[in-house]
Structure 1
Amino acid sequence: MVSKKVELAVGFFVALGIAALLMLSLKVADSGISGGGDSYQLYAKFDNIGGLKVRSPIKVGGVIVGRISDISLDEEDYMPIVTLDIYSQYTFSEASSLSILTSGLLGEQYVGLLPGFVDESVDTLAQGDFIEDTKPAIVLEELIGQFLFGQGSED
C-alpha cells in the first residue's frame, strides 16, 4: 500500500514537471512573436543578407526594437528586400541606417539599426517607407579569401 502511494506521488511530480516545461516552452515561443504589441513595417534593400532569417531581431544598442517579418527578392534588380516590423513605441528618423551584424564569431545574424539625427528638417520613418542607407552582411568566407589573397600578393 505504501509503495502505491509513493508511485502515485512520483507520477504526480513527473507530470507536474512535464507540464511546467511545456508552459515554459510555450511562454518563450510566444515572447518571440509579440515583443511589443503593435508594429509598423519598413523595408530595406541589401546587397547581401548572409544568413539572416525571418524573425531575426532588429536591435538598437542591444535593445530589440523589432523583428524581421519577411525576406524576398526584388524582381527588377534581384536584390534581397527585407521587411522590418518595428514596434510602434519606437520611431526613427529617415537618416537612420541598417547593417547586418553577427552575435559573436559564428553566432546568429541580426539587423543593427543606427538611429539618425533628429531635426525639424528630417522626417521620421512611417509605415511602408524604405530605409536607404544599408550595409550588407560580412561573409566570413569572403574575409578569409581576401586575407589569403592579400597575403599571397605580398610575397
Structure 2
Amino acid sequence: MTTRTTEILVGLFMVAGCAALLFLALQVSGLAPGARADTYTVYARFNDAGGLSARGRVSMAGVTVGHIREVVLDPETFQAKATLEIDASVNNIPSDSSAIIRTSGLLGEQYIDISVGIEEDPMKDGDVFYSTQSALNLERVISNFASGR
C-alpha cells in the first residue's frame, strides 16, 4: 500500500513540475494567456529592418512601453513597415519622435527605441513615425571599411 501511495505522490509531483515549466515558458516567451492591456497602434518604416521580429519590445528611455505586432514589406515603398502596439498609459509621445532600431548588447535581440521629440501634439492611433533610423548592418560596415569607402 505504501508503494502505491509513493507512486501517486511522485506522479502528482511530476505533473505539477511539468505544469510549472509550461507556465514559466509561456511567461518568458510572451505568449501567456490573459487580459492584454489597452494599446494603440502606430507605424514605422525602415530601409533595413535587420533582425527585427514580431513580439520584439518597444522602449522609451530604457523602459518597455509596447511591443512589435508585425514587420512586413510595404509593396508601395519597398520599405519594411513595423506595426507597433504602444501601451495606452503612454499616450503623450510627441508626434515628431523618432523610431530607432537598436540591439541589446553586441549580438543580442533587436528592438525599437523611441527617441522623444519636442512637439506638443502627441501621437494618436494610426500615426506614423516620419523620422526613423534603420538597423546597423555590421557586415555592410565591415565591407565598407575593408574596401576603403
Cα deviation for residue 11 of structure 1 reads 1.8
Residues 31, 2 of structure 1: alpha-carbon distance in 2 compared, 3 angstrom cutoff: closer
Q: Does 1:129 align with 2:127?
A: yes
TM-score, normalisation: structure 2? 0.86
User: In structure 2, what residue type is equivalent to 1:88?
Assistant: A
Distance in 2 between residues matched to 1:84 and 1:97, nearest whole Å: 13
Structure 2: stretches of 5+ with no match in the other structure: none
Listed as ranges, the matches of 1:1-155 within 5 Å are: 1-28=1-28, 29-30=31-32, 34=36, 37-90=37-90, 91-118=92-119, 122-150=120-148
Paired-residue identity, %: 39
User: In structure 2, what residue type is equivalent to 1:21?
Assistant: L
Matched residue pairs, number?
146
User: In structure 1, what residue type is equivalent to 2:113?
Assistant: G
TM-score, normalisation: structure 1? 0.83
RMSD: 2.1
Residues 48, 127 of structure 1: alpha-carbon distance in 2 compared, 3 angstrom cutoff: same
Cα deviation for residue 139 of structure 1 reads 0.9
Distance in 2 between residues matched to 1:32 and 1:72, nearest whole Å: 27
Residues 51, 128 of structure 1: alpha-carbon distance in 2 compared, 3 angstrom cutoff: same
Cα deviation for residue 117 of structure 1 reads 2.1
Distance in 2 between residues matched to 1:128 and 1:39, nearest whole Å: 11
Structure 1: stretches of 5+ with no match in the other structure: none
Cα deviation for residue 84 of structure 1 reads 1.1
Instruction: State the secondary structure of the residue aligned to 1:99.
Output: strand
Residues 143, 32 of structure 1: alpha-carbon distance in 2 compared, 3 angstrom cutoff: farther
How far does the alpha carbon of each residue in 1:78-136 deviate from its partner, in whole angstroms, 9 at most, with x for none?
Answer: 11111111111102001211110111111111001011125xxx311111111111001
Runs (4+) of structure 1 exceeding 6 A deviation are none
